[in-house]
Amino acid sequence: MTDGLLTLPAVKELLGRADAAPRRSLGQNFVVDPNTVRRIARLAGVGPGDRVVEIGAGLGSLTLALAQTGAEVVAVETDGRLVPLLQEVAGQSAGTTAGEATDGVAGDRNGSLTVVHADARRMDWDALLAGTGWHLVANLPYNIATSLVLTVLDDVPAVTQMLVMCQKEAAQRLAAAPGGGTYGAVSVRVATHADAELAGTVPATVFYPRPDVESALVRITRRAPGMDPVLRSEIDRLVSTAFAHRRQMLRRTLRRAFDDADETLRAAGVEPTDRPEQLGLTQWTRLAEVSLAAQTQG
């Protein structure tokens, strides 16, 4: 370890002791560079008095850096092979006793770091996170990163800030602005909840095993007050329909969504010849409002 943080030899020793080879199916690429996890903790802007939930804590590489800021950390890990190792690392290096739970609810909270054995895709977030103002900071498995971010935005209002590391292309889609090739339905869905921006890149060399793709950090800040759920649902419906054929004009892709697509689009201030990637959140919101008003009148 370096300053209490995990290095490549420490990670290999822990995995070897437990005979726990990294699993590709779980997207397990462990950060083995202390400077990288310190950087992520710094970019997250957390410290004493803050509450952080980490998804996919693994062996605790990032967990320890977050705990060293003085924040209260709840580290969630789904792989039962790693949980005892994570508890050991947390207890020895962070000076805490980590509690375990298998039903998604944190166990004994002894100190500022709690380990939870649960699958973030199925756990009870409300039971895990008391109150509001939580930060989600994580090295997310590539195969669940986008869906998990959207789930948190949709269903976990207790989380108001996120700094997540994921595949670079996924990060770009989460934070994309209108007009670019990475802007799509995911970008709009994020924008209905929050402001998102890229916060930096992470080289493949800091991971074990080394991934075949680049990684990036994205910062997501939930806006308050939130958008009306009915309006958001209508935006999602229209966006999903339009981006299913992103190269086509809106008059064509939305013709099944409206009785008269050209008239509805113009009523919303949108040109029927526009393509979906040209519309920002303001235009999608106006189009959804016009659509809902027409449904009410009908």
Cα 229 to Cα 244: distance, rounded to the nearest angstrom: 22
List, for residues 35-59, the tens digit of each pLDDT value: 999 999 999 999 999 999 999 999 9
Residue 37, number of CB atoms within 10 A of its CB: 23
Cα 67 to Cα 57: distance, rounded to the nearest angstrom: 12
pLDDT at 101 over 90: no
Q: State the pLDDT at residue 259.
A: 84
Q: State the pLDDT at residue 35.
A: 97
Q: State the pLDDT at residue 206.
A: 97
Can you give the pTM of this predicted structure? Answer: 0.92
Q: State the pLDDT at residue 3.
A: 75
pLDDT at 298 over 90: no
**Average pLDDT score, the chain:** 91
Mean of pLDDT values over 116-125:
95
pLDDT at 92 over 90: no
- Measured in degrees and rounded to the nearest 5, phi and psi for residue 15 equal -65, -40
pLDDT at 98 over 50: no
Mean of pLDDT values over 125-150:
95
Given pLDDT bands bounded at 50, 70 and 90, which one contains residue 93?
low
pLDDT at 99 over 90: no
Q: State the pLDDT at residue 295.
A: 84
Q: State the pLDDT at residue 108.
A: 37
Which residue type sits at 280?
Answer: G
The region of weakest confidence among 86-95, 116-125, 143-152, 274-283 is 86-95
Mean of pLDDT values over 169-189:
96
Which domains are assigned to the chain?
A: 8-222 (3.40.50.150), 229-297 (1.10.8.100)
pLDDT at 162 over 80: yes
pLDDT at 94 over 90: no
Given pLDDT bands bounded at 50, 70 and 90, which one contains residue 25?
confident
197, containing H or E segment: strand 194-202
pLDDT at 144 over 80: yes
Mean of pLDDT values over 174-196:
97
Cα 56 to Cα 250: distance, rounded to the nearest angstrom: 39
Q: Tell me the HSE value of 223 on the side-chain side, using a 13 A CA sphere.
A: 10
Residue 241, number of CB atoms within 10 A of its CB: 17
Given pLDDT bands bounded at 50, 70 and 90, which one contains residue 105?
very low
Q: Tell me the HSE value of 6 on the side-chain side, using a 13 A CA sphere.
A: 31
Cα 67 to Cα 113: distance, rounded to the nearest angstrom: 7
Strands 72-77 and 51-55: parallel
Mean of pLDDT values over 232-259:
94
